[in-house]
Structure 1
């Protein structure tokens, strides 16, 4: 029986009857702030524009006409789509960052997802290349539940980036090959004009800096070979024992004084940034040897494009200046990064090498802190992202995220570095936050994606001005939209207009670097009273010269109390402290105290207004970590992970403390439901309940959360040194030189531990039960798979097609659908499904064992009935975050009128 023959007439008949429905409360929105990479594409014939609607999890389709853009269709895809590429006029592929997959979309009449391809964790970009450009190349992290390999999270010298390659003509469940890149997580792709070469770039690629652990540095000051001066603050109070950032100068690891530290850096950082893949080979692979990569292109690489005539490659990027110490005015010390944390660049790659071009040549960094806007800020460029070139290769258009503009560069001037910023070569865009663009030369237009309002700006390339602006449906709450600007807006955040919070907190996350942002001109501060354990060493107060510390993510701040590695951003003193949300545990109060960073770090002439800072706070506290990509999709643990969890929760320590004996979990609290009884928006403790500990070489630190430990793998070979008491490690690890690695920073607050097990290996942890390497490996394995705010299954998809009912395909597809349904029954996600009924999109929301439909007068369908719909058109199932199923499944705008009914009444 073809169920569609029964359902479709019913749906059509609904247009003739009254539609009733009860309005429901607005459905929640989970904010991930995924960075868009290739948000727009034009069909090869130039007739249509395809745009990812990231917050709404859709592909929007527009007709390109002489009069402008006309919206044609909207196709639900995976969660957090960030890139789209047109394979031909009838099929486009969409990269879904959170769903770890690619939606293959038929964009003909009644556009729909026709299949879903599973890839590695957090895919970001896609291009078509190879013979006839019939191969699809997709970047993904070297991990994830769909990866057909062991990610080797405790193995040195493993590339942490992959490019998955599919035959676009016959995309089977398995890729043709997976090309591993010797870098950290990847982002951008580009392809040359004839499709024979694909270029793949690292994302947070580093800059050949690393850190020397405090225990390995003399505490007697600069003259004794210790830290460079000053070693006291302006009041004469000695700094605590701190680490030291060093940089490879081509021959040696040196500090700011030129002193060599080679004997304490036991690895190399080749800093391979952009890789060259032979797309035409029988099996795509990197070109051999030095032809297969470009090194030292930039610290954070955003987008790439190839000049269609010269073949030169342009890479938008920022170069971090984390080798420069201190924030603040730089009075007592003669160095500061205030107003100049990164350089914004486009790097040109060609046969002669790597040629970085600093874009803000007009800025005088010797002067700081003039009120904005000013002459400098008006010309500045911050976080250049997507690019487009004219067909003759002469002009390069660049989306500038931090300044609400498109910057125009003439490629000849860019290549020979003769350009100079000019207001006539910059086009303001009204929507704000441009992330990507495509050029429509046939109509003399440029289409620009504007993330701040989820819109599209249309620019006349002859007049160099915006002539139209459209917005897409956006389910984000008003406070999320309003506060986003404060993260990226360099024009309003900094004295020169080229720095923002996002310069280091890339897309609200991290840059995988350590910075020494102490301030010798500041005073010692008292700590709050929420210290969990005091080991009786060092000074409990917060010294302003805190030493190197890793950039922390802005994700997952809610319900975790004080902020910063030391917990020195907190709400202490305003009211009595208690979980949740009062006193020192108030995340709202804690985040508001970061306002001092705008003048002290970014060089703004004054702090944000209280209203603007509160808007930023409201935005930041909604950011959420993605599901864990190491843990099994059914939320189970492997035997090794389970053994580690058992130890973590149950092994009693005899280490000195305030409540001996206690377990690892006594300090590093793991409770996914913590504070749920108080109705908090994002319950759960994931390594921390917000308390502090005085233990780390004399500094008070907040007990850290652990949700992103799996992202910090790749810095093997850091010299030993005990984590706590400055005594040698136990001899469980090989301290010989470890060769090439992909990261310069690992674990602990300063990144000086190359792997989690190094922390367990200190003598100070021996009383805690870490007596052997096997136990350390088990606990590390558990921490890589730790609970997060969302279950591993969230975002996962299955597309059921007519072909899948064949005996050879059915068992795997059936098992995948059953998995999603089982996890929904366990309240780990909410399950939705999407398909087409002729001209109508049919949405389904699984609740109570059946699927509520997107038409109020169409009865619920059983599991079997929904599966039978695939005999007519593919059905795509998606596990979405708890609480969002109704909105994403059957009521897109959460207005109480179901999506199908709105289609019937022309309100879609």
Structure 2
């Protein structure tokens, strides 16, 4: 339990993201090196070491580029994601020395150095970029507002003047986004924002020079050619040219087996097909092309002319991978390396594969794809693994030691001969022969791997190439490696407010060495950073038996239940997110992880999640299930992962007229045969922590052969990108960016299609249905839209920034967030919290009104950054 001052709106100490309200150092920092001292004359230590925070909010954001070096190599900049902090270290001694730290936005995932005094940090949850002046007292001098969930940043073009930032094509700060884009087919869902770093503009959040639309799903990684003239941008959840044929079309034509080991016929379900370059085929090669009403061109990596008068797209590269993590350029050969995994979701079934195919232990292939001279060459980095071994039989330990899972950050040596790659799921840094890789060759070699602390995400080379720095996410540490000895020689712990429940359970999501017998797969192979992979999988098991369905049906469901048992051959189902599952009742689409045998100290959700334990053997390919202690740790961690704020809903949490009309219909109109409202099943009740589901079973109507758990509705905006529902239309929709849309198997192209075309609801007219669709796109989550939002006020943008500051103030007064102001006052670091008295309070300073802070921010180098932090989930 924690106590709160009565002067503070909410309990700022309970906000896991505040870390500290004081600007004084808790630990005695090391003296900076002479090089750093000349630059950082007055260090600030705004990100402070705290005890584990039981109210920490775990967004589980995936780091992209968490490390950067100053041009002279004397300073290491670290984006400390859980502490929402940029930490600065001197590299001049044997061990890294922390010399300063600056609070930034929420969930920083990437950092880039623009020049010897300016560092830019990408804040994934705040939809912002913090521009930090490290000269004198490091501080934020400008905040750029960008599209939703920015991930990476690079500088390129003439004198590296331009900043390129990847974001999703949506968000409250995206001036070019229109709500109707969500129902518009054939447009890109990924953007690259380009800023002129020497002319950021006077508008709120800066004025981009241009925004490049990529015809792909949400983007992630960036990299730059050696001459700075070309930027490469990659889609993140790129897909692999797979889609689903609906059950009404598949009926009677599905490849065998079509019954389980007991001889019981499987329910009619859809079928996943893949485009082979000429036609859409199933696993037996049958042609389903006439039933797919769109194209998936599979644009993965985009080449941008960074040196043009206005940056433009030059070309794109296809078939690079399914999930693309990071990129690097070889400074000598010019080859572009893309770390990725390629999903095998067109292969049906999990389990032993006695009577069928199976993806057990071979969910996806870990790869580095080489793009060289416009040629795309995928290179499998685990060719030594025998994936045909029977269930329960592991590859030899010496072979498993060669395995590399979830390849992420990469860096190439100056001579172009060695690629260093962080294997996030293997806790290793691999040293790879770049020349062989350029030829499409790779030979696994455990002697060319360096074991590091768990979950390495970032890797950098020192300027002389003798050392490497590695950020490891499990324990939030940075390691120093001597490459000649291939050995970690020092480990530096970053400030970390995460409680033990988060740190202890995280490895079980990602660690392929721990959770698979061949060292190549983990739950994180599909649940990317605890979220979705934008694919559907048919993970039924023909070798399994029927299971009793003991769940209750929803009170408003007038249709009789279709079945009282779960068939093990369940058909295609889209990957579900872990985010928010702590309040969603039984697990999985059918609720077949029922959680009805919960112990006295367990929630139904915890008991239900633990029923996935057999998946470690039947799907991931472990020899045995996790023991009870480890399973508890994994479960407790998974249930901490929280949803992001809805990026489309108004920042003040209000609704547009159409959205409000949709909400009124959702709650008040009996649309299901005149008996029940949408809310009767898809319950929205914040006080009960229900966000679209009551956890019960419903008969979903004539289109669906099985009973399903009522689904939560928090992430509908994240499923947009497929248009063309074959059983409802015969119109070909052209190129699209996703092969799966809405419903359990992704067969509905849009929410509009689901609500209108299946004719299961009694709408007054189509407009009423579309209003409900609008509301579902802005559906409430457990985190409010204002959370994480920030802006920096300075002498140059007083007029532009004032309305946003007033919005943040009004939201704090309503209790929607805890507002903090940070910056410099008289060359002293300031970190103040807005209180009930209408003033900001900080240790060592008098109470300031917002008007007083505004006046102070007009002075040179006294910019003030306002950030809405989430309130405590439980405080007293």
Q: Give me the TM-score of the superposition, normalised by structure 1.
A: 0.88
Match of 1:560 in 2: 584
- Check the 8 A contact 1:372/1:492 in 2, yes or no: no
- Check the 8 A contact 2:188/2:217 in 1, yes or no: yes
Alignment counterpart, residue 275 of structure 2, candidates 238, 245, 248: 248
Change over 3 Å in CA distance of 1:372–1:493 after alignment to 2: farther
Task: State the secondary structure of the residue aligned to 2:583.
Answer: coil
Counterparts of 2:758 and 2:500 in 1: how far apart (Å)? 51
Match of 1:865 in 2: 852
Match of 1:267 in 2: 294
Match of 1:391 in 2: 414
Match of 2:522 in 1: 500
Task: State the secondary structure of the residue aligned to 1:114.
Answer: strand
- Check the 8 A contact 2:386/2:395 in 1, yes or no: no
State the 1:434 CA deviation. Answer: 0.2
Alignment counterpart, residue 707 of structure 1, candidates 706, 709, 714: 714
The answer as to 2:757 corresponding to 1:735 is: no
Match of 2:805 in 1: 817
State the 1:352 CA deviation. Answer: 4.5
- Check the 8 A contact 2:59/2:644 in 1, yes or no: yes
Q: Which has the higher contact order (CA 8 A, sep 6+)?
A: 2
- Check the 8 A contact 1:27/1:886 in 2, yes or no: no
Alignment counterpart, residue 436 of structure 1, candidates 455, 458, 477: 458
Match of 1:571 in 2: 595
Alignment counterpart, residue 179 of structure 1, candidates 205, 212, 227: 212
State the 1:11 CA deviation. Answer: 10
Counterparts of 2:697 and 2:226 in 1: how far apart (Å)? 56
Alignment counterpart, residue 727 of structure 2, candidates 720, 727, 745: 720
Alignment counterpart, residue 430 of structure 2, candidates 384, 396, 407: 407
TM-superposition CA deviations, 1:40-86 (whole Å, max 9, x none): 01111212110100000000001120433211100010000000000
Task: State the secondary structure of the residue aligned to 1:802.
Answer: coil
Alignment counterpart, residue 622 of structure 1, candidates 621, 640, 647: 640
Counterparts of 2:374 and 2:845 in 1: how far apart (Å)? 65
- Check the 8 A contact 1:159/1:184 in 2, yes or no: yes
Would you identify which runs of 4 or more consecutive aligned residues in structure 1 move more than 6 Å? 884-887
Match of 1:826 in 2: 814
Change over 3 Å in CA distance of 1:537–1:31 after alignment to 2: closer
Show structure 1 runs of 5+ residues with no match.
1-9, 13-22, 221-225, 675-683, 722-733, 888-908
Change over 3 Å in CA distance of 1:393–1:700 after alignment to 2: same
Alignment counterpart, residue 688 of structure 1, candidates 663, 685, 693: 693
Task: State the secondary structure of the residue aligned to 2:820.
Answer: strand
Task: State the secondary structure of the residue aligned to 1:65.
Answer: coil
Alignment counterpart, residue 538 of structure 1, candidates 548, 555, 562: 562
Match of 2:400 in 1: 377
Alignment of 1:221-240 (within 5 A): 226-240=253-267
Match of 1:731 in 2: none
Counterparts of 1:548 and 1:106 in 2: how far apart (Å)? 51
Alignment counterpart, residue 286 of structure 1, candidates 313, 324, 344: 313
TM-superposition CA deviations, 1:215-250 (whole Å, max 9, x none): 2222x3xxxxx1111111000111011000000011
Alignment counterpart, residue 835 of structure 2, candidates 847, 853, 856: 847
Match of 2:85 in 1: 58
- Check the 8 A contact 2:118/2:131 in 1, yes or no: yes
- Check the 8 A contact 2:51/2:497 in 1, yes or no: no
Counterparts of 1:73 and 1:205 in 2: how far apart (Å)? 38
The alignment covers a number of residue pairs equal to 818
TM-superposition CA deviations, 1:274-298 (whole Å, max 9, x none): 00111111111101xxxx1000100
Task: State the secondary structure of the residue aligned to 1:71.
Answer: strand
Change over 3 Å in CA distance of 1:358–1:597 after alignment to 2: same
Counterparts of 1:182 and 1:26 in 2: how far apart (Å)? 41
Alignment of 1:411-490 (within 5 A): 411-429=434-452, 431-442=453-464, 444-490=466-512
Change over 3 Å in CA distance of 1:604–1:803 after alignment to 2: same
TM-superposition CA deviations, 1:451-503 (whole Å, max 9, x none): 01111010011111111110110000111010001001000100100100000
Alignment counterpart, residue 671 of structure 1, candidates 671, 675, 685: 685
Match of 2:33 in 1: none
The answer as to 2:132 corresponding to 1:105 is: yes
Alignment counterpart, residue 864 of structure 2, candidates 875, 886, 890: 875
- Check the 8 A contact 1:319/1:342 in 2, yes or no: yes
State the 1:539 CA deviation. Answer: 2.2
Match of 1:756 in 2: 751
- Check the 8 A contact 1:537/1:695 in 2, yes or no: no
Segment of structure 1 superposing worse, 862-871 or 586-595: 862-871
- Check the 8 A contact 1:11/1:858 in 2, yes or no: no
Segment of structure 1 superposing worse, 690-699 or 737-746: 690-699
Counterparts of 1:75 and 1:319 in 2: how far apart (Å)? 38
State the 1:653 CA deviation. Answer: 2.6
Alignment counterpart, residue 647 of structure 1, candidates 656, 665, 688: 665
State the 1:113 CA deviation. Answer: 0.5
Match of 2:571 in 1: 547
Change over 3 Å in CA distance of 1:537–1:452 after alignment to 2: closer
The answer as to 2:363 corresponding to 1:341 is: yes
Task: State the secondary structure of the residue aligned to 2:565.
Answer: coil
Match of 2:11 in 1: none
Counterparts of 2:721 and 2:759 in 1: how far apart (Å)? 25
Counterparts of 1:407 and 1:510 in 2: how far apart (Å)? 27
TM-superposition CA deviations, 1:746-778 (whole Å, max 9, x none): 00000000001111124542xx32253222221
State the 1:875 CA deviation. Answer: 1.0
Segment of structure 1 superposing worse, 868-877 or 554-563: 868-877
Alignment of 1:795-814 (within 5 A): 795-805=788-798, 810=799, 812-814=800-802
The answer as to 2:609 corresponding to 1:591 is: yes
Counterparts of 1:346 and 1:294 in 2: how far apart (Å)? 14
- Check the 8 A contact 1:539/1:698 in 2, yes or no: no
Segment of structure 1 superposing worse, 615-624 or 695-704: 695-704
- Check the 8 A contact 1:317/1:383 in 2, yes or no: yes
- Check the 8 A contact 2:725/2:753 in 1, yes or no: no
Counterparts of 2:229 and 2:211 in 1: how far apart (Å)? 17
Counterparts of 1:386 and 1:463 in 2: how far apart (Å)? 21
Change over 3 Å in CA distance of 1:83–1:604 after alignment to 2: same
Match of 2:157 in 1: 130
Counterparts of 2:599 and 2:112 in 1: how far apart (Å)? 53
- Check the 8 A contact 2:66/2:111 in 1, yes or no: yes
Segment of structure 1 superposing worse, 180-189 or 146-155: 146-155
Alignment counterpart, residue 168 of structure 1, candidates 197, 221, 225: 197
TM-superposition CA deviations, 1:615-664 (whole Å, max 9, x none): 11111111011100111111111111111111111111352xxxx61111
Alignment counterpart, residue 317 of structure 1, candidates 340, 356, 359: 340
Match of 2:767 in 1: 774
Match of 1:360 in 2: 382
Counterparts of 1:390 and 1:167 in 2: how far apart (Å)? 29
Counterparts of 1:78 and 1:72 in 2: how far apart (Å)? 20
TM-superposition CA deviations, 1:716-744 (whole Å, max 9, x none): 113025xxxxxxxxxxxx63111000000
State the 1:838 CA deviation. Answer: 5.2
Change over 3 Å in CA distance of 1:836–1:143 after alignment to 2: same
State the 1:797 CA deviation. Answer: 0.2
State the 1:858 CA deviation. Answer: 4.1
- Check the 8 A contact 1:121/1:629 in 2, yes or no: yes
Change over 3 Å in CA distance of 1:361–1:815 after alignment to 2: same
